[in-house]
């Protein structure tokens, strides 16, 4: 049987990015040896965003904990706030914009994990 692994976000350095946001990668092949998924937390500053991008093969789930924003796809804009969960299938362009005056905080999960979450061989 495999051993359970525990990660405390206080011990994980955040990755600061532009536009202003920070992401903590808590579960990945690099951090705990996971093979099928990655999970972390993102905090996007007021006025900041996760720029438009797409995932060709990865499913993505985001669960919003605090703040206010909008999830923008090619077809729609979805209001975001605490308690909203968004499932994003592979292939569509999307971005997340913080439209509020506080940090937009959410948990994200990818399956399979992104290549950047894997150990480089």
Name all domains of the chain by residue range, CATH numbers in brackets.
16-117 (2.60.120.10)
- Kindly give, in sequence order, each residue whose CB lies less than 8 Å from that of residue 6, ignoring residues fewer than 6 positions away: none
Predicted confidence at residue 2, as pLDDT, reads 78
Q: pLDDT tens digits, residue range 53-104?
A: 999 999 999 999 999 999 999 999 999 999 999 999 999 999 999 999 999 9
Q: What pTM did the predictor assign?
A: 0.94
> What number of residues does the chain have?
121
Contact (CB, 8 A) for 106 and 62: yes
CA distance 47 to 20: 8
* Residue 121 pLDDT exceeds 90: no
Q: How confident is the model at residue 120 (pLDDT cuts 50, 70, 90)?
A: confident
Token duo for residue 24: 């903590």
Strand boundaries in the chain, DSSP class E? 15-17, 21-27, 38-44, 49-53, 59-66, 69-73, 77-80, 85-88, 94-98, 104-111
* Residue 111 pLDDT exceeds 90: yes
Predicted confidence at residue 1, as pLDDT, reads 62
For the chain, percent of residues with pLDDT exceeding 70: 98
Q: Nearest 5°: phi and psi at 90?
A: -60, 150
Contact (CB, 8 A) for 8 and 24: no
């Amino acid at each position: 049987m495999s051993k359970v692994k525990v990660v405390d976000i206080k011990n994980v350095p955040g990755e600061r990015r532009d536009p202003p946001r920070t992401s903590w990668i808590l579960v990945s092949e690099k951090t705990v040896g996971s093979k099928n998924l990655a999970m972390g937390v993102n905090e996007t500053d007021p006025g900041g965003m996760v720029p438009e991008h797409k995932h060709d093969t990865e499913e993505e789930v985001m669960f919003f904990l605090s703040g206010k924003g909008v999830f923008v796809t090619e077809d729609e804009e979805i209001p975001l706030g605490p308690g909203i969960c968004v499932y994003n299938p592979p292939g569509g362009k999307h971005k997340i914009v913080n439209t509020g005056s506080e940090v937009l905080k959410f948990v994200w999960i990818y399956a399979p994990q992104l290549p950047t979450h894997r150990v480089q061989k």
